[in-house]
């Protein structure tokens, strides 16, 4: 028989005002196993806790029931009390006599009866409590950051500055992401490169950062504190240790300027061997294996090789893998621009002078293909430009969500257009969403600069008499408008990366309905994922501008360093456990687990005189969060949740129903 | 003594139990008919628990969890939803009136909703009278 102590708290008059506490404690003393029952004015106070500790020693208690406030309030307090008295902290059960009884029941008799029921249930349950232990797992204090856009760069720098080693994996030949493609940034109009390139250089020089460019993560195993990651390094065909980034090979390449440049959003050309942009980090050339004539057809003068005085070109380079061990991961893989080709009514890809937002950024940029001159395809300056908002966004047929940055970037671009040309500028918008610090003021400024705002989503762009005609319904005037312009800039929205599903699978993270990576809780855990140890930063989690991306990156870095500040990680104690003898190996539990904590393992066991091999479910204690969803899915009853076993819960059910007046 | 129905409520720790706590902190009175059993997630509630409660004489059973999409464990309550659709049909088949088995989504900020739910179920069950169907008469 267990030796149980029961303590009924008055909580001043909070409980005692509605519940006859001494009657409840007298009732408790008669319950099976109870050797001492008391009521006390403030159980959580020092003397209250002292009283319990003395009873544990004096009455040799091995279980404790406390009828007081909500366990969500003081369970940790009383677990501590038990631990200090040398008892397992899990040998405690609380009954909620305040929030669930005294504060919601007017009738004293009913409240007292309800309190007795709850105490009876707690006593029945606590008898079945067992010792639970959490494991201590060591933490590998190195981080992996995936994606080298502004978010990844910021997260890497913050973690590295805190003194931890960081691997920054970037799939492109250079870091920088989309921000490197931008000209000026709203709302302050500082030059994007001026604020970004110093950070890129910091990354390349940081003693704690290993930059793995032109590489991708192909496999992730393990769990928080102990991930094993396989990274695939794509062949550069250039020996990075020899390459100085002089660009002689680029100039010499026979394919010079003949390949559309990704960095220039197709507005300029590059060679088959190239440096993505002048401030690239690492500043090394790379041979595009899919476009190089020698690599694809075996036929070329290999002019690049000849031009390289350092002998850095190496056509015998090949793909290779490496293994990393890290304790935490920050995903910062960013976004794709919405593909405006999927909305043919706007003429993108069909009509010459219809371009998207990123293309406009390249046109406006002093280091871009036109040296910053905003010109039409024929090289002339446009006399009128239209900016169309919400392309692909806020549309049930493409992206339901608001892309958050397009209003602002369209207005920024309208400003740049007014600044650099004499063109008339129109903005076609549904609403202006300018909710950021200084954003509304920027909106006002652009209005004052003489940009014409037309409230109405553009419906169509067509060509007439050598002009582009934008048709829309002006919803303020309530009538259709048609405006002839020379250039149309599509304010295309942000979408999840085209490979977001595969990346999510590789890292075992979930995605929201819109396809972006899902945070663990939309309000309270915005940078965590449901996989412990994997965090999110930047536009891979949803549309974000630069300030928001940087803020989230710093937050993710904070989570990583907080994790690394510990030497060991405690696993949950109340986790699922499989009784392997009972498990039939159906694995119905596996898909139910939100954390991927359940694996199939093969066990060897004796069956009669033979040794047989059999598949059963096993729970990884480092991943299990203790929800118990798997237990309800298990048909054989092999899966059980420690601390919430069927026996324990049913004991409560039985005790509650028993003896109720009817 | 007049007959008072007994409602056994399984409340998930993160939302509905917190919602019941909030009803308390806001002093929202409701009938003393409910006894709450705390579970980590509504997904933990085994249909067996519901049957057992009815067998032992509960007049109604409530399973309450976070709103779909808000589950602390992200997907636990989706399984709850599916599982209890089945459980309800099964109970009906056994002859238990559908009013006696309720599944509700109550968040931690919905104290009033918790109060309303208990009032509602109490009223509905009072109208039906005591549960005699699965009850074992030991
Ligand atoms: C036209 C336009 C104008 C804009 N103007 C502004 C502005 O003025 N001000 C402002 O605040 N914001 C602006 N923005 C928004 C800004 O671009 C984003 O806020 C910012 O780029 C988000 O950074 P990120 O690091 O999250 O993503 P990205 O910049 O997309 O970077 C992600 C990086 O991850 C890499 N990557 C992707 N997948 C993988 C993988 N599987 N493995 C390894 N690496 C991977 C990519 O190559 C890339 O380098 C603009 C956006 C657009 C489209
Ligand atoms: S559901 Fe139960 S029996 Fe089936 S594999 Fe999982 S633990 Fe084993
Ligand atoms: S208790 Fe929840 S987290 Fe743990 S193994 Fe079962 S389903 Fe997964």
Using the Cβ of B138 and the Cβ atoms of chain A, whether some distance falls under 8 Å is answered with no
Q: What share of chain A in percent tops pLDDT 70?
A: 99
pLDDT of residue A19: 97
**If you ran DSSP here, which 8-state letter would residue A273 be given?**
E
Phi and psi dihedrals of A103, rounded to 5?
Answer: -80, -10
pLDDT, tens digit (0-9, with 9 covering 90-100), for A156-189: 999 999 999 999 999 999 999 999 999 999 999 9
At A662, the pLDDT band (50, 70, 90 cuts) reads very low
Mean pLDDT of A497-512: 91
pLDDT at A603 over 50: yes
pLDDT at A399 over 90: yes
pLDDT of residue A403: 98
pLDDT of residue A551: 98
pLDDT of residue A571: 86
Question: Which residues, listed in sequence order, are joined to residue A521 by a DSSP beta bridge?
Answer: A525
Residue from A583, A618, A625, A642 to probe ligand 3 pocket by mutation (most atoms less than 8 Å from CB): A625
pLDDT of residue A521: 77
pLDDT, tens digit (0-9, with 9 covering 90-100), for A89-136: 999 999 999 999 999 999 999 999 999 999 999 999 999 999 998 889
Phi and psi dihedrals of B111, rounded to 5?
Answer: -55, -50
Mean pLDDT of all residues in chain A?
95
CA-based nearest residue in chain A for residue B42: A629
At A410, the pLDDT band (50, 70, 90 cuts) reads very high
Of A335-349, A542-556, A648-662, B70-84, minimum mean pLDDT range? B70-84
Of A237-251, A307-321, A501-515, B61-75, minimum mean pLDDT range? B61-75
**CA nearest neighbour of A388 among A445, A471, A314:** A471
At A257, the pLDDT band (50, 70, 90 cuts) reads very high
Mean pLDDT of A441-465: 96
Question: Which residues, listed in sequence order, are joined to residue A213 by a DSSP beta bridge?
Answer: A170
CA-based nearest residue in chain A for residue B31: A105
CB contact under 8 A, A114 and B20: no
Can you say whether the dihedral through the CA atoms of A265, A266, A268, A269 is positive or negative?
positive
CA-based nearest residue in chain B for residue A656: B35
Residue with tokens 């990576």: A517
pLDDT at B51 over 50: yes
**If you ran DSSP here, which 8-state letter would residue A481 be given?**
E
pLDDT of residue B1: 59
In this structure, the number of other CB atoms found within 10 A of the CB of residue A508 comes to 16
pLDDT of residue B74: 67
Q: Classify burial at B126, counting beta carbons within 10 Å of its beta carbon; exposed 0-12, middle 13-18, buried 19 or more.
A: middle
pLDDT at A256 over 80: yes
At B76, the pLDDT band (50, 70, 90 cuts) reads low
Of A305-314, A432-441, A500-509, minimum mean pLDDT range? A500-509
Q: What share of chain A in percent tops pLDDT 90?
A: 91
Length of chain B in terms of residues written: 138
Using the Cβ of A106 and the Cβ atoms of chain B, whether some distance falls under 8 Å is answered with yes
Between positions 4 and 23 of B, the ones with CB within 8 A of A are: 4, 6, 8, 13, 17-18, 20-21, 23
At B84, the pLDDT band (50, 70, 90 cuts) reads confident
Distance CA A603, CA A611 (A): 10
Mean pLDDT of A602-611: 90
| Separation of first and last alpha carbons in chain A | 31
Using the Cβ of A595 and the Cβ atoms of chain B, whether some distance falls under 8 Å is answered with yes
pLDDT at B3 over 90: no
pLDDT at A251 over 70: yes
Question: In this complex, which of A520, A628, A662 lies closest to B43 when CB atoms are compared?
Answer: A628
pLDDT of residue A660: 42
Residue B76 C-alpha, separation from nearest chain A C-alpha, in angstroms:
6
What residues of chain A lie within 8 A of the CB of B78, using their CB? Answer: none
Mean pLDDT of A455-480: 95
Distances (CA, A) of A502 to A338, A437, A514, A526, A540: 19, 36, 15, 22, 13
Confidence check on the interface: ipTM exceeds 0.85, yes or no: yes
Mean pLDDT of A233-252: 96
Question: How far is C-alpha A551 from the geometric centre of its chain's CA atoms?
Answer: 13
pLDDT of residue B134: 81
Outline where A167-257 has alpha helix (H): 192-205, 248-252
Residues flanking ligand 3, CB < 6 Å: A 575-576, 592-593, 595, 597-598, 619, 624-630, 641
At residue A190, the 3 state secondary structure works out as: strand
């Amino acid at each position: 028989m267990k030796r149980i102590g029961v303590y009924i708290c008055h909580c001043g008059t909070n409980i005692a005002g509605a519940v006859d506490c001494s009657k409840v404690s007298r009732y408790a003393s008669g319950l099976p196993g109870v050797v001492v029952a008391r009521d006390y004015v403030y159980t959580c106070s020092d003397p209250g806790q002292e009283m319990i500790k003395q009873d544990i020693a004096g009455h040799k208690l091995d279980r404790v029931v406390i009828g007081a406030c909500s366990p969500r309030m003081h369970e940790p307090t009383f677990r501590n009390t038990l631990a200090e008295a040398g008892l397992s902290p899990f040998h405690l059960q609380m009954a909620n006599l305040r929030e669930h009884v005294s504060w919601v029941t007017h009738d004293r008799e009913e409240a007292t009866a309800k309190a007795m029921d709850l105490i009876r249930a707690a006593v029945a349950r606590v008898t079945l409590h067992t010792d639970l232990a959490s494991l201590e797992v060591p933490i590998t204090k190195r981080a992996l950051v995936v994606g080298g856009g502004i978010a990844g760069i910021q997260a890497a720098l913050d973690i590295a500055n805190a003194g931890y080693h960081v691997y920054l994996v970037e799939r492109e030949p250079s870091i920088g992401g989309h921000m490197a493609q931008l000209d000026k940034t709203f709302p302050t109009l500082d030059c994007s490169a001026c604020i970004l390139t110093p950070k890129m250089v910091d990354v390349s020089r940081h003693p704690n950062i290993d930059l793995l460019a032109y590489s991708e993560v192909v496999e992730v195993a393990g769990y928080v504190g102990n991930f094993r990651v396989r990274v695939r390094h794509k062949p550069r065909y250039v020996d990075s240790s020899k390459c100085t980034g002089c660009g002689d090979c680029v100039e010499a390449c026979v394919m010079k300027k003949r390949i559309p440049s990704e960095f220039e959003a197709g507005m300029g050309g590059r060679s088959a061997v190239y440096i993505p942009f002048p401030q690239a980090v690492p500043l090394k050339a790379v041979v595009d294996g899919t476009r190089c004539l020698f690599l694809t057809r075996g036929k070329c003068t290999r002019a690049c090789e000849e031009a390289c005085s350092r002998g850095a070109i190496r056509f015998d380079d090949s793909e290779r893998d490496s293994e990393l061990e890290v304790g935490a991961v920050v995903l910062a893989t960013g976004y794709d621009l919405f593909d405006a080709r999927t909305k043919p009514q706007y003429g993108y890809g069909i009509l010459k002078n219809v371009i998207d937002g990123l293309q406009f950024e390249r046109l406006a940029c002093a280091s871009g293909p036109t040296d910053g001159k905003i010109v039409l395809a024929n090289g002339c300056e446009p006399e009128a430009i239209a900016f169309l908002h919400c392309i692909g966004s806020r549309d049930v047929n493409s992206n339901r969500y608001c892309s958050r940055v397009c209003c602002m970037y369209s207005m920024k671009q309208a400003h740049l257009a007014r600044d650099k040309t004499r063109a008339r500028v129109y903005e076609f918008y549904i609403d202006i969403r300018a909710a950021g610090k200084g954003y509304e003021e920027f909106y006002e400024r652009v209005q004052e600069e003489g940009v014409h705002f037309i409230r109405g989503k553009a419906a169509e762009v067509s060509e007439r008499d050598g002009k582009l005609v934008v048709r829309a319904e002006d919803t303020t005037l309530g009538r259709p408008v048609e405006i002839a312009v020379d250039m149309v800039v599509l304010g295309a929205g942000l979408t999840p990366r085209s490979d977001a599903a595969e990346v999510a699978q590789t890292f075992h993270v979930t995605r929201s309905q819109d396809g972006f990576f899902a945070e663990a809780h939309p309000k309270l855990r915005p940078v965590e994922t449901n996989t412990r140890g994997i965090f999110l930063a930047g536009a891979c989690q949803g549309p974000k501008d630069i300030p928001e991306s940087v803020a989230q990156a710093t937050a993710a870095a904070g989570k990583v360093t907080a994790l690394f500040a510990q030497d060991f990680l405690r696993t949950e104690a109340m986790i699922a456990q499989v009784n392997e003898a009972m498990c039939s190996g159906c694995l119905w539990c596996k898909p139910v687990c939100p954390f991927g904590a359940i694996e199939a393992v093969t066990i060897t066991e004796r069956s009669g005189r033979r040794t047989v091999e059999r598949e059963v479910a096993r729970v990884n204690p480092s991943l299990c969060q203790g929800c118990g969803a798997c237990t309800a899915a298990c048909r054989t009853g092999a899966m059980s949740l420690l601390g919430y076993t069927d026996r324990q819960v049913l004991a409560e059910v039985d005790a509650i129903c028993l003896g109720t007046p009817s | 003594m007049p007959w008072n129905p007994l409602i056994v409520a399984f409340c998930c720790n993160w939302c509905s139990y917190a919602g019941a706590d909030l009803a308390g902190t806001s002093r929202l009175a409701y009938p003393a008919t409910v006894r709450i059993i705390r579970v980590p997630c509504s997904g933990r509630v085994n249909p067996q628990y519901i049957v057992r409660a009815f067998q032992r004489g509960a007049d109604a059973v409530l399973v309450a969890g976070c709103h779909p999409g808000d589950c602390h464990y992200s997907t636990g309550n989706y399984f709850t939803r599916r599982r209890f659709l089945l459980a309800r049909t099964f109970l009906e088949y056994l002859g238990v009136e559908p009013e006696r088995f309720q599944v509700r989504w109550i968040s931690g900020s919905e104290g009033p909703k918790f109060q309303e739910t208990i009032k509602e179920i109490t009223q509905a069950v009072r109208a039906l009278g005591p549960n005699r169907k699965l009850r074992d008469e030991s």
